[in-house]
Amino acid sequence: MPFKKPSASTASSTLSHPTLHPARTPSGHEVRPRRRGNRLNPTHLEWEIEHPNSDSRTKIKYNSRDARKGRFPLRSHHHAGMIESHPTSTISIRVAHHGERDKLKPHLKLDVTFWVAVAFWWGSAVWVANGFCVWLPVVRPSTDSEAMAPTASALAFIGGTIFLVGAYLGLLEAGNRGKENDFGSSFESLIWGNKPSAHSVSSSTDDFPKSSANHEPSEFSWMPKPRWKEMGYIAAAVQMFAASVFWISTLTGLPGVIPGLADGTGSRAIIDVFFWSPQVVGGLGFIISSLILTIEVQPRWYHLKPLTIGWQVGVWNLVGSVGFCLCGALGYSVDSRAVWQSDMSTYWGSWGFLIGSTFQLYEAVWRMPESSDK
pLDDT in tens, 254-285: 999 999 998 888 899 999 999 999 999 999 99
Taking the C-alpha atoms of residue 268 and residue 56, their distance in angstroms, rounded to an integer, is 71
Residue 55: its pLDDT value, please? Answer: 67
Residue 307: its pLDDT value, please? Answer: 92
Q: Is the pLDDT of residue 77 over 70?
A: no
Residue 13: its pLDDT value, please? Answer: 31
First to last CA, the chain: 38
Q: Report the relative pairing of strands 15-19 and 24-25 from DSSP bridges.
A: unpaired
pLDDT tens profile 162-192:
999 999 999 999 988 765 555 445 555 555 5
Are the CB atoms for 109 and 180 separated by under 8 Å? no
Average pLDDT of the residues of the chain: 76
Taking the C-alpha atoms of residue 249 and residue 233, their distance in angstroms, rounded to an integer, is 25
The predicted model gives 135-152 an average pLDDT of 88
Taking the C-alpha atoms of residue 223 and residue 202, their distance in angstroms, rounded to an integer, is 19
Are the CB atoms for 324 and 163 separated by under 8 Å? no
The predicted model gives 99-107 an average pLDDT of 56
Residue 110: its pLDDT value, please? Answer: 80
Taking the C-alpha atoms of residue 155 and residue 127, their distance in angstroms, rounded to an integer, is 7
DSSP 193-219: -PPPPS------TTT--S-TTT-----
Q: Is the pLDDT of residue 107 over 80?
A: no
What is the signed CA dihedral for 193, 195, 197, 203, rounded to 10 degrees? 80
Residue 152: its pLDDT value, please? Answer: 95
Q: Is the pLDDT of residue 248 over 70?
A: yes
Q: 69: closest CA among 101, 124, 116? A: 116
In angstroms, what is the C-alpha Rg of the chain? 24
Are the CB atoms for 206 and 41 separated by under 8 Å? yes
Phi, psi of 111 (to 5 degrees): -95, -175
Binning pLDDT at 50, 70 and 90, where does residue 10 land?
A: very low
Are the CB atoms for 10 and 88 separated by under 8 Å? yes
Are the CB atoms for 152 and 134 separated by under 8 Å? yes
Residue 111: its pLDDT value, please? Answer: 84
Binning pLDDT at 50, 70 and 90, where does residue 369 land?
A: low
Position with higher pLDDT, 208 vs 269: 269
DSSP summary character for residue 40:
S
* Three state DSSP letters for 56-87: CEEEEEEEHHHHHCCCCCEEEEEEEEEECCEE
pLDDT tens profile 275-327:
999 999 999 999 999 999 999 999 888 899 999 999 999 999 999 999 999 99
Residue 71: its pLDDT value, please? Answer: 78
Amino acid at 6: P
H or E segment and range at residue 93: strand 86-94
Q: 281: closest CA among 317, 245, 247, 322? A: 245
Taking the C-alpha atoms of residue 346 and residue 353, their distance in angstroms, rounded to an integer, is 11
**Strand partners of residue 59:** 48
Secondary structure of residue 304 in the 3-state scheme: coil
Range ranked top by mean pLDDT from 70-74, 76-80, 146-150: 146-150
Range ranked top by mean pLDDT from 84-98, 126-140, 230-244, 300-314: 230-244
Position with higher pLDDT, 196 vs 153: 153
Q: Above pLDDT 90, what percent of the chain? A: 46
pLDDT tens profile 214-232:
444 467 778 888 989 999 9
| Residue ranges with strand state E in 178-320 | none
Taking the C-alpha atoms of residue 280 and residue 274, their distance in angstroms, rounded to an integer, is 11
Spatial CB neighbours of 48, under 8 Å, sequence gap ≥ 6: 16, 17, 19, 57, 58, 59, 60
Residue 355: its pLDDT value, please? Answer: 98
Position with higher pLDDT, 71 vs 18: 71
What angle do helix axes 277-296 and 231-252 make, rounded to 10 degrees? 160
pLDDT tens profile 48-61:
766 666 666 777 77
H or E segment and range at residue 34: strand 34-35
